[in-house]
Chain A
Amino acid sequence: MIMFIIRRIASMLGVLFALTVALFGLQELSGVDPARAYVGANASAEALERTRVQLGLDQPAIVRYFDYLGGLLHGDLQNSLRTRTPVAEGLSTAFPATVELALWSLGLALVLGSIFAVLTVTRWKGAGIVRVVLLSGASAPTFLLTMLGLLFFYGQLGLLPSGGRSSFGSTSPGPTGLFVLDGLLAGRVDVATDAIWHLILPAACVAISPAVAIGRVLVDGLRINLVSDHARTARSAGMPEGLVMLRHAVRNSLGATLSMIGIQAGLLLGGLVVVEKIVSWPGVGSYLDKSVQASDFPGIAGVALLLGVVYVVLNTLVDLLQVAADRRLVLS
C-alpha cells in the first residue's frame, strides 16, 4: 500500500512537471503579451517595456521557466498578474467553492445514477420516464442545461437563486470554506440551507451527465450479477431479494462502477468551469476563466497544477476503493 502511494506521488510529480512544461510552451507559442494585460490597454510603449522588465518577461523563456519552477519547489505559485495578490491566496478561497460544488455534483450523480440503475434493473413501471429525463438531460450541453435551469427555476418559478454561493456574503462562517458544512458547524442552519439552495441548480446540471454514465455501468454490472451463480445460490438459500441485490449484485458491480466514478469525477471538473461562469460561482473555474482573459500565466498555471493534483489524487482514491471493494484485486 505504502509503495503504491509513493509510486502515485512520484507519478503525480511527473504529471505536474509535464504540465508546467506544456503550459509554459503554450504561453510562449500563443503570442499573448501578459505585460499588456498587466499594465492596461492605453499604456505607452515605455510603460509596457518597464513592465516587461519588472515582470522578468525580458528574460529568455528558459530562464523564466526555471525561475518559475524554482519558486514552485518552495511552494510559491507567484503573484497573479490580474489581482496582484499571491495565486495561492486566490486559490485558497476559490478551491473550497469548487470542492463543495464538485462534492455535491458527484454525490447527486451517484444518487441519480443509482436510482437510474436500480429502477432499470428492477423494471419499475416508471423507469422509462426516469431514463428519458436523465438521457435527455445528459444529451444537452451542460451550459445549455444550466441556462435553461436558470430561466425556468429562477426566471419563471423564482424557486432557486440566480447564482452565487450564498446570500450571506462571500465569507464562510467556519474553517473549511464549505458553506453547508461550516454553516452546520457554526450552528447557522440558515446559512447551510441557503448554501444548499444555491448548490441545487449548478450541482444538478453538472451531475446529470455523469449520473447516466455511472448508472449505465452499474446497470450492466447488476444485470450480470443478479443472474450469476452466487446470486442464484443465495436466493435458493432463502436470502431476500433486497439482500441479494446489496450483498451480491451491488458489491460485485462496484469495481467497474468505481472506475467510471473516477473517470466521471475528472470530467466533472471540466464541466464545472463552464457552469461556474454561468452561475457566478466563485470557484477555480471562474478563477481560471478570468486568468485566461487577462493572460495571467501564474493564475492559469496555478489552476492547472491544482487540478492536476486533484485528478491524480482522485484516481488514487478510486484505485484504493476498488481494492477495498474487491479483495481479489491487488494494488500494483
Chain B
Amino acid sequence: MIQSPTPRRARPTRLRTRVLTAAALVAASALALTACAPSTGGDAFASGDTFKVVLLGAYSTPPDPDVNYDGPGLNIIQNTYEGLVAYEDGSTTATIVPKLATDWTVSDDSLTYTFDLRKGVTFHDGTDFTADAVIASFARRTSVDAGPAYMVGDVTGVTAIDDYTVEVTLAAPNSAFLDYLASPFGVKMISPTVLSEQAGDDFAQTYLTDADAGTGPYELGSVTTGQSYQLTAYDKYWGDKPEFTTVDLTLSENASAVQLQLERGEIDAVLGDVNKTSFEDYSSNADLDASTFANFTTQTVFMNPQSAIFTTTENRAALFSAIDTKTILESSMGELEVPTTQLFPAGMLDESLDSQGVEYDPNALASLAASGIAAGKTIRIGYAGSSPDGKAVADELGANLSSAGLPAESISYGAGTIYGLADDLAAAPDIVVMSVFPDAAHVDAWARILYTPKGGLDVMAAEVPGLTDDLDAALLASDNEPYGAIAKKVIDSKYWYSIGSLQTTTITRSGLTGIDDARNLLEYNVLHFAALGNA
C-alpha cells in the first residue's frame, strides 16, 4: 500500500544536513569577505596633503565660469579661476581687493576702467596671463551669453594698452561695474590658448565641462559630473601655495550618512545646508568645529499683489508687524540665521539709508481677523523646497497667523515651479518665503533682480512704479544717497520684507586653521581651500 507522504516525511535528516551545511558555507564566506574587506574604521582624519570635503545637495552644472550660475559650483570655480578683482575673503564687509589686476583707475566720465595686470601669472596650461587673456575672457562671457552674461552687458570694448595694461570701456557710467567684476559669478580669466584650441562650435563649453583653464591655486583633476571632483594644487601658482595639495570634493544628499562619515573621521568637512538640530549636534562634538560666517543670503517674504486678503498696503503692513521674526528664527534656525532690520542684505547699505522700521506687534492682525476679510479662507504660504530655512520659517509663520485667527498652511514648491508663480498670480500663494542671494555686493545687483518684474527673483511680479528708472539713475550717481530713496520706496510698498540673514555654515574636524579666511561674504557654503591648513 502506498501512503501519501506527509509534509513531515518530506524533511529527511540528510536534506536538513545539507541545508545546514549550505548555511554554514554562506556564513563562512561572509566572514572571509569581512576579513578581506577594506577598513571603514575612522582611524584618522583625512591626513596631511589631502582635504576631503562633502558637499550636501545636488550640483551638476559644468564648472565653467561663464555658464555656472549655481552657488555650490563656486566651490570649484573660486578655487580654480580668478578674476581681475574680488571681494576680500574672511571679511564681514564687502571690500573689493586686487586679484589678477594689481591696480585700477576710473576715468572722470566713469566710462573707462584701466587695469594694471599682475605679472608672473600663468594659466594651468602654462600660458602667460596678459592683456590678451582679458580680452578673450570678456569676449567669451558675451559669446556664451548665459545667466551671468548681463554683468558685462554695458561693456563696449576691451583694449590692450600693452601686455600688462588693459582698458575696459562702458556704454554708460555704471557704479556697480567693479562689483560685477568682483562678483563670484563675475568674469574670470580663462586661458586664451585653451579658448582658441578647444573652441569647437560652442566657445570651448564642451571642453570646460570637465576641465579648467584658470589661474587659481588649484587645477581641476578628475571629474565625475554630479558625484565627485578632485582638485590638485597648481605648482606654479603666483600666490601662497596651498597646504593641502589635493582636495577631494564629493556630493551627497544623505546628511545622516555624511554626519557619520565626519564623526568617524573619514572626511574633513561638510559644506551645505544643515538644519538647526544637526548644527547643535555637531557643535556638541569635541572632535568637530561647527562655525558660522556672515553672508548676504537673505530670507525674504514676498507678497502676492493679487492676494484677496493682502491687497492693501495697510493689510500687508499689519502682516509684517505680526511676524515675530526674532522668535521664529530662534526656534527654527538658531545660530544659522540672524534677524535683520534692513531691506537689502545686512550691511550692504548704511542703516541710516536702509531700515525697514517694522516693529513686532502681536495684535497687529487682530483687526484684520475681526474684519472678516479672511472668513472661510486659508492663507497659503509658499516656500522653496530647496531653501534650508524655507519650511521651518513658513511653518512658524503659519502658526503665528493661525494663532492670530487667520488660518494658514504652508506649501512646498520645487525650484522649477516657484519661479513660474508670477505667470498665474491668481493661483499663486498669498505669501512666499524664500532665501535669496545677490550676485554682487551692490544695491543695484540686489534691487534690480528682486524688485523689478524683469528681475529673475521677483517671484510675485510685484512692481514699484518708476523703480527701474530710479535704479538706472542711481547707477550714474557717485554716492549711495539715491539708494536710500529706492529702499524707502520698496519698503513703503510692503510687497517685500527681509526677515533674516542666513549664515554660511561649515562643519570641519578640529585642528583646522584658516576657516574664516576661506569664506567669503558673497559665497554661501563655499570654501577657498588654499586658505586652509593643519594646526
Partner-B contacts on A (CB < 8 A): 30-34, 36-37, 39-48, 50-51, 80, 82-85, 90, 93, 111, 115, 118-119, 121-124, 147, 150-151, 154-155, 158-164, 167, 169-170, 190, 193-194, 196-197, 223, 226-227, 231-232, 235-236, 240-242, 244-245, 277-280, 282, 286, 289-290, 293-295
Using A124-B16, A240-B14 as known contacts, say yes or no to A280 and B257 having CB atoms under 8 A apart.
yes
Residues of B within 8 Å of A39, CB to CB, are: 69, 146-147
Using A34-B416, A150-B257 as known contacts, say yes or no to A282 and B224 having CB atoms under 8 A apart.
yes
A32, B414: Cβ atoms under 8 Å?
yes
Task: Kindly state whether residue B311 has any CB partner on chain A within 8 Å.
Answer: no
B19, A41: Cβ atoms under 8 Å?
no
Q: Which residue of B lies closest to A168 (CB)?
A: B38
Report the Cα distance A46→B448, complex, angstroms: 13
Report the Cα distance A121→B15, complex, angstroms: 11
Candidates A32, A42, A241; contact of B456 at CB < 8 Å: A42
B390 nearest CB across to chain A (Å): 13
Interface string of B12-50 (1 = CB under 8 A from A): 101110110011001000000110111111100000000
Q: Which residue of A lies closest to B42 (CB)?
A: A158
Residues of A within 8 Å of B224, CB to CB, are: 93, 170, 282
A42, B439: Cβ atoms under 8 Å?
yes
B19 nearest CB across to chain A (Å): 6
Residues of B within 8 Å of A115, CB to CB, are: 19, 22-23
Q: Which residue of A lies closest to B446 (CB)?
A: A42
Q: Which residue of A lies closest to B18 (CB)?
A: A242
A232, B257: Cβ atoms under 8 Å?
no
Candidates B10, B39, B448, B454; contact of A241 at CB < 8 Å: B10
Q: Which residue of A lies closest to B450 (CB)?
A: A42
Using A40-B69, A282-B227 as known contacts, say yes or no to A227 and B7 having CB atoms under 8 A apart.
yes
Report the Cα distance A170→B248, complex, angstroms: 13
B4, A227: Cβ atoms under 8 Å?
yes
B37, A37: Cβ atoms under 8 Å?
no
Residues of A within 8 Å of B416, CB to CB, are: 30, 32-34, 36-37, 294-295
Question: Across the A-B interface, how many residue pairs have beta carbons closer than 8 Å?
Answer: 221
Task: Name the interface residues of B173-197: CB closer than 8 Å to any CB of A.
Answer: none
B70, A232: Cβ atoms under 8 Å?
no
Task: Kindly state whether residue B312 has any CB partner on chain A within 8 Å.
Answer: no
Task: Kindly state whether residue B245 has any CB partner on chain A within 8 Å.
Answer: no
B138 nearest CB across to chain A (Å): 17
Report the Cα distance A40→B448, complex, angstroms: 16
* Most chain A beta-carbon contacts within 10 A, residue among B67, B209, B250, B252: B252
Interface string of B60-73 (1 = CB under 8 A from A): 11100001011000
A112 nearest CB across to chain B (Å): 10
Report the Cα distance A241→B33, complex, angstroms: 33
Task: Kindly state whether residue B254 has any CB partner on chain A within 8 Å.
Answer: yes
B456, A45: Cβ atoms under 8 Å?
yes
Candidates A41, A240, A282; contact of B419 at CB < 8 Å: A41
A226, B419: Cβ atoms under 8 Å?
no
Q: List 12 A-B contacts (CB under 8 A).
A: A33-B416, A41-B457, A42-B438, A121-B10, A150-B256, A150-B260, A155-B263, A158-B264, A193-B38, A194-B37, A279-B257, A282-B224
A43, B147: Cβ atoms under 8 Å?
yes
Candidates A84, A170, A277; contact of B253 at CB < 8 Å: A277
Using A162-B266, A290-B226 as known contacts, say yes or no to A194 and B417 having CB atoms under 8 A apart.
no
Range, interface on chain B: 35 or more
Residues of A within 8 Å of B266, CB to CB, are: 162
B254, A280: Cβ atoms under 8 Å?
yes
Interface string of B221-265 (1 = CB under 8 A from A): 010111110000000000000000000001111101110110110
Residues of B within 8 Å of A227, CB to CB, are: 4-5, 7, 10
Report the Cα distance A128→B34, complex, angstroms: 27
Candidates B70, B206, B250, B419; contact of A33 at CB < 8 Å: B419
Using A39-B147, A90-B225, A227-B5 as known contacts, say yes or no to A160 and B40 having CB atoms under 8 A apart.
yes
A280, B253: Cβ atoms under 8 Å?
yes
A46, B454: Cβ atoms under 8 Å?
yes
Report the Cα distance A236→B4, complex, angstroms: 10
Report the Cα distance A234→B266, complex, angstroms: 59
Partner-A contacts on B (CB < 8 A): 2, 4-5, 7-8, 10-12, 14-16, 18-19, 22-23, 26, 33-34, 36-42, 58, 60-62, 67, 69-70, 145-150, 205-206, 209, 222, 224-228, 250-254, 256-258, 260-261, 263-264, 266, 386, 414-417, 419-420, 423, 436-439, 448-449, 453-457
A290, B252: Cβ atoms under 8 Å?
no
Residues of A within 8 Å of B11, CB to CB, are: 121-124, 241
Using A34-B416, A39-B146, A162-B266 as known contacts, say yes or no to A83 and B209 having CB atoms under 8 A apart.
yes
Q: Which residue of B lies closest to A189 (CB)?
A: B36
A159, B226: Cβ atoms under 8 Å?
no
Report the Cα distance A159→B40, complex, angstroms: 6
Residues of B within 8 Å of A44, CB to CB, are: 150, 448-449, 454-456
B420, A43: Cβ atoms under 8 Å?
no
Candidates A43, A164, A169, A194; contact of B69 at CB < 8 Å: A43
A126 nearest CB across to chain B (Å): 9
Residues of A within 8 Å of B26, CB to CB, are: 111
Interface pairs A-B: 10 shortest CB-CB:
A40-B69, A295-B416, A32-B416, A122-B11, A40-B147, A43-B147, A170-B224, A45-B454, A155-B260, A241-B12
A293, B58: Cβ atoms under 8 Å?
yes
Report the Cα distance A47→B142, complex, angstroms: 12
Residues of A within 8 Å of B222, CB to CB, are: 169-170
Using A42-B457, A44-B449, A290-B226 as known contacts, say yes or no to A151 and B260 having CB atoms under 8 A apart.
yes
A151, B256: Cβ atoms under 8 Å?
yes
Q: Which residue of B lies closest to A89 (CB)?
A: B225
Using A45-B453, A163-B252, A278-B257 as known contacts, say yes or no to A83 and B419 having CB atoms under 8 A apart.
no
B417, A30: Cβ atoms under 8 Å?
yes
Report the Cα distance A32→B413, complex, angstroms: 10
Residues of A within 8 Å of B209, CB to CB, are: 83-85
A161, B40: Cβ atoms under 8 Å?
yes
* Most chain B beta-carbon contacts within 10 A, residue among A34, A161, A235: A161
Using A45-B453, A170-B228 as known contacts, say yes or no to A154 and B40 having CB atoms under 8 A apart.
yes
Residues of B within 8 Å of A169, CB to CB, are: 222
B512 nearest CB across to chain A (Å): 21
B254, A278: Cβ atoms under 8 Å?
yes
B143 nearest CB across to chain A (Å): 13
Q: Which residue of A lies closest to B264 (CB)?
A: A158
Extra pairs beyond A115-B19, A227-B7 (12, CB < 8 Å): A32-B416, A33-B416, A33-B420, A36-B415, A43-B147, A47-B147, A82-B60, A155-B264, A167-B38, A170-B227, A241-B15, A294-B58
